[in-house]
Structure 1
Amino acid sequence: MAHVQQLGNQPLRTCIGCRKKGPRSELLRLVSDTGGSSAVVVDERRRMAGRGAWLHPSEACLALAVKRRAFGRALNGSTGTAAVERRITAGAHAADVPASAVPTVQPESGSEI
């Protein structure tokens, strides 16, 4: 019960890969593409219409979800996971880059000549 009190009123969702529950803020929301294809897309803003599924943004959970064929069951036949794979691998590579290697963008002041 103490674990629930620490999370406050934040909703819990179940990852379709590892089947563990976690706060909504830690998982990616996935939906079927509205274009009539069987593709699965990442709902970055968590606002797209339709049935959603949740996945931890890790390659391990993605592999488990693909192995278990969880996308087709959770999203009514949607199986194209290319967009999800790109999002997760891009996030993993961004975490590998040290902060000192990322260039800092300086705002324009307008007074420089």
Structure 2
Amino acid sequence: MGCRKRELAADLLRIVVLPEEAGDGSRPVVPDPRRRLPGRGAWLHPVSSCLSTAHKRRAFGRALRVSGHLDISALEHHLENRHEHS
């Protein structure tokens, strides 16, 4: 989604947007590493550079087919923790 390079699904992180809105009216985009959350998902390389590229391109709304402000802080936190544990 960010860099648009193709990979095997096992090497990508599935992300979904939660249906409920946060207090500020944004909808949270969350990682789905177990690939079990309901709803439309999108795939992203699990690296911060791919995340920032997707955010700059505003690719989340198009890929997930949602409009409005999307909160990617949970996704950023997941990638930071994943990098620290590697």
Query: What is the CA–CA distance in structure 2 between the aligned matches of 1:79 and 1:73, rounded to whole Å?
Result: 11
The structure with the larger Rg is 1
Of the three residues 58, 78, 82, the one matched with 2:73 is: 82
AA of the residue aligned to 2:38: A
Identity rate, percent: 45
Q: Is the counterpart of residue 35 in structure 1 residue 20 in structure 2?
A: yes
Q: Give the TM-score taking structure 1 as reference length.
A: 0.66
Please list every run of 5 or more consecutive structure 1 residues that lacks an aligned counterpart in the other structure: 1-15, 96-113
The equivalent of 1:91 in structure 2 is 82
The equivalent of 1:109 in structure 2 is none
Once the two structures are TM-superposed, the CA of residue 80 in structure 1 deviates from its matched residue by 0.8
Alignment of 1:19-58 (within 5 A): 19-37=4-22, 38-58=27-47
Once the two structures are TM-superposed, the CA of residue 40 in structure 1 deviates from its matched residue by 0.5
Q: Tell me, what secondary structure is at the counterpart of 2:71?
A: coil
Aligned residue-pair number: 80
Once the two structures are TM-superposed, the CA of residue 48 in structure 1 deviates from its matched residue by 1.4
Query: What is the CA–CA distance in structure 1 between the aligned matches of 2:50 and 2:83, rounded to whole Å?
Result: 13
Name the Cα RMSD after superposition: 1.3
Deviates more, 1:24-33 or 1:68-77: 68-77
AA of the residue aligned to 2:9: R
After TM superposition, where is structure 1 displaced by more than 4 Å over at least 4 residues in a row? Answer: none
Q: Tell me, what secondary structure is at the counterpart of 2:42?
A: strand
Q: Give the TM-score taking structure 2 as reference length.
A: 0.84
